[in-house]
Amino acid sequence: MGVTKSARATNGEGKAEQLSQDRIIDAALRVAKRVGFDRLTMRALADELGVTPMAAYYYVKSKDELLELVADSVAAAQAPLPPDLAWDEQLKIRAFELFDRLTEYPGLGAFLLERPLTPSVRKTYWSGVDIFRRAGLDEHEAELAHATYHTFMFGLMGMEYRFRPVKQSRGRDDEAVVAHATTHEFIEFGLDTIIAGIRARQHS
């Protein structure tokens, strides 16, 4: 039996509400935050909405499309940078904001490392490159620097997610995967190393 556009979900008070793609994304974000991005399924989404899986499929055609939409929604939530800060301070603000935003949804960083260019990531790509242009790099070097930063941040988030159960079993959930330091200390060191490398290139 086909699903019509009048498919409705129930809210917490048992009242019916019209389904929409925005409501589906909001529900999927709640599920992903609660159980992890890689455990987000169409059935889990339908349960969250109080509808049948077929009703959800009317608005989102597959699990892959659902994951892409959710990832893009989180990527689109990037906060604007203060315009009067130095480039290295902007880079650190962007990095920590990105880490905190993506790790709200366990597994999302690993997903974006494999398929990073969602529409919202594409829209913000050049603003990221521009941070490195402000450091004095030409366009090609700035793109390489941005790719280095991108690989460091998303690679770290992927490793953190995969090793989290081991860390929790040892009572060290805030310790970085590859160093005896907190994850934020590890990010700070990695960013300082990237920044120092860029400054060294400027004076070589």
Tell me how far apart the terminal alpha carbons of the chain are, to the nearest angstrom.
Answer: 69
Q: What is the mean pLDDT of residues 172-201?
A: 83
The tokens for 183 are 């994850």
Q: Structure pTM?
A: 0.78
Q: What is the mean pLDDT of residues 8-24?
A: 65
Q: What is the mean pLDDT of residues 174-181?
A: 65
pLDDT at residue 166 greater than cutoff 90: no
Task: Quote the CA–CA distance of 37 and 67 in Å, as a whole number.
Answer: 8
**How confident is the model over 44-64, as pLDDT tens digits?**
999 999 999 899 888 998 999
Cβ-based burial of 80 (10 A; exposed 0-12, middle 13-18, buried ≥19): exposed
